[in-house]
Amino acid sequence: MNYDIAVVKGDGIGPEVVTEAIKVLDKIGEKYGHTFHYNYVLAGGAAIDATGKCLPTDTVDICKGSHAVLLGAVGGPKWDDLPGDERPERALLGLRKALGLFANLRPAMVFDELADASPLKAEIIDGGLDIVVVRELTGGIYFGEKGTKKTDMGPAAYDIEQYSEGEVKRIAAVAFDMAMKRNKKVTSVDKANVLESSRLWRRVVAEVGKNYPEVELENLYVDNAAMQLVRNPKQFDVLVTSNIFGDILSDEASQITGSIGMLPSASLATGNFGMYEPVHGSAPDIAGQNLANPIATILSVAMMLRYTFELSQEADDIEEAVKKFLAAGYRTPDICAGKESIGTKETGDKIASLI
């Protein structure tokens, strides 16, 4: 099979980590007989330097014409003085919108070999941890009606949380589809004891769940979910929630992991189209020095294989190679805890060689 991937290397460490992820992807292609075509496009600071715009129209068109997008990270001090809507980071919002990316997937994984980097006690994450937060990305309070008004207590401001059945249906379907490719459990997080929008959310998620009889559905209030994530995270597999709750819970979950250099993410549209990127930014402080950990980006391409291309064995293969890499004692500087470390390129080479 041929797969078309639009690639935004981006700024700072972006090009360094993307290069290593592509090395790994090519190794998968070789082993399994797939051809990955890379359409290199500009967005962010590099695009501003070359074209004056952070998200050129060409970039959007080529992304739309590809099966998936791989993105490093954008931004950096060079462009910090630009006005908000001209900054490199604006390209991310523009891409999300143009590509209809309504589902944000943030796995929180603790590899057994790195368990001591987690702030949680060893017995809580014994044997590793692998959960995913599925966050609705284009609705809810961040995009609802907002404004100001006068009240008895002085000037007031408001933001409205609103969800339609259609919006909840499509995000729920993403979560259940994902559960089918994983461990067949979905936890829907809401505040249905207080919020009308959450009652609709809970009802629609349950309706969608009827199409997935093999998947166990559990509902949890968001305050309880926040506690359970640090008390007993292993009870979860897929968590699905609204934009604002997902923003907070995915950051909480990411901290269980230890290093930002290990965290992948995906944003999906309908029809399995997705944009895959590490959670971290362009890390200008270590850019160009072969110090960046490319594992977040390497695990992002594993997600691309699993969720857009439906190549789960190939995805497993990458995750296994990362585990073997860690088990053999290799570490990048961010996870070496003062011990000996290896560089970005050597990490990519080693992980590719373990496939």
Q: Which residues are annotated as a binding site?
A: 76-89, 96, 106, 135, 223, 247, 251, 281-293
DSSP letters for 21-75: HHHHHHHHHHHHT-EEEEEEE--THHHHHHHS-SS-HHHHHHHHTSSEEEEEE--
User: Residue 173 touches which of ligand NAI, Mg ion, none (CB < 5 to 8 A by kind)?
Assistant: none
Q: Hey, how many other C-beta atoms are within 10 angstroms of the C-beta on 227?
A: 11
| CA distances in angstroms from 24 to 39, 98, 266, listed in the order given | 17, 28, 18
Using DSSP, state whether 344 is helix, strand or coil: helix
**Which residues make up each annotated binding site for substrate?**
96, 106, 135, 223
Nearest residue relative to Mg ion (C-beta): 247
223 is catalytic: yes
Residue 306 is given by DSSP the state: I
> Which is closer to ligand NAI, CB of 89 or CB of 216?
89
* Interaction of residue 89 with ligand NAI, rule CB under 6 A: yes
Q: Does the annotation count 330 as an active-site position? A: no
Q: How far apart are the first and last CA of the chain?
A: 19
Least gap, CB of 84 to Mg ion (angstroms): 17
Element (H, E) at 158: strand 154-159
Among positions 261, 274, 343, 348, the unique one binding ligand NAI when judged by CB under 6 A: 261
Q: Is there binding between residue 260 and ligand NAI (CB under 6 A)?
A: yes
CB of 252 to Mg ion, least distance (A): 10
Active-site pick, 142, 323, 349, 350:
142
Active site includes 64?
no
Map the footprint of ligand NAI across residues 63-82, applying CB under 6 A: 73-76
H or E segment and range at residue 123: none
Point out which residues bind ligand NAI (CB under 6 A): 13, 17, 73-76, 89, 92, 260-261, 277, 280-286, 292-293, 296, 334
